[in-house]
Amino acid sequence: MYKQLTSEQRYTISVLLQNRTKQKDIAKAINVSASTVSREIRRNSGVRRHYNWETAQANAVQTR
């Protein structure tokens, strides 16, 4: 079953990325697949490749 990431999971991704944590370790921390983390980062990173969890959450709410 399809399940969207929560705002808490997005925040955790943001914090762990700032700490240079590997994507597979981020996935383990929030209990999702590594491909989910990779896709989330790719979809919600700007031109400068910076992931902002607040923007990502706003995009998710807008597309629901």
Reply yes or no on whether the pLDDT at 64 is more than 90. no
Domains: count for the chain: 1
56 in any annotated domain: yes
**What does the pLDDT look like over 2-50, one tens digit per residue?**
689 999 999 999 999 999 999 999 999 999 999 999 999 999 997 788 9
Cα angle: 43, vertex 22, 48; to 5 degrees: 40
Predicted local distance difference test score (pLDDT) of residue 48: 80
More confident: 47 or 60: 60
2 in any annotated domain: no
Q: What residue numbers bound the domain in which 40 lies?
A: 7-63
13 in any annotated domain: yes
Contact of 53 with 7, CB cutoff 8 Å = yes
38 in any annotated domain: yes
Q: Could you give the CA distance from residue 37 to residue 1 in angstroms, rounded to a whole number?
A: 17
